[in-house]
Amino acid sequence: MFEDIIPLIEQIASDRTVPRNIRERCEESVKILRDGDDPAEIRVNTVISYLDEMSNDPNIPMYTRTQIWNIVSILESAVKK
């Protein structure tokens, strides 16, 4: 389910133009998505919350904010299915 989303988040995490706190939060998000202990809905909602926080960071580049919004959209549609 998350095979398409994880590489998108990892792309942000590996971008050196993105502030370190955002990259670290992306790495946490990937760990949450890969962790199979919690139900998928809880993991997705947690990651959406993290991504929402990141997108509101004033230091984030605009193109990264757009990437985050796209990832949130994909995650929200995955939850609705």
In a domain, 32, yes or no: yes
Q: Domain of residue 73: give its range.
A: 6-80
Residue 1 maps to a domain: no
pTM of this prediction?
Answer: 0.88
Q: Is the pLDDT of residue 63 over 90?
A: yes
35's CB contacts (< 8 A; 6+ apart) are 43
- Answer whether residue 41 is part of any domain: yes
Q: What percent of the chain has pLDDT over 90?
A: 75
Per-residue pLDDT tens over the stretch 26-50: 999 999 999 878 888 889 999 999 9
pLDDT score of 38 = 84
66 inside domain: yes
- Total of domains in the chain: 1
Question: Does residue 56 fall inside a structural domain?
Answer: yes
Residue 43 is assigned to a structural domain of this protein: yes
Mean pLDDT of 1-16: 91
Other CB atoms within 10 A of residue 12 CB: 23
Q: Is residue 68 part of a domain?
A: yes
CATH number for 49 = 1.20.1440.50
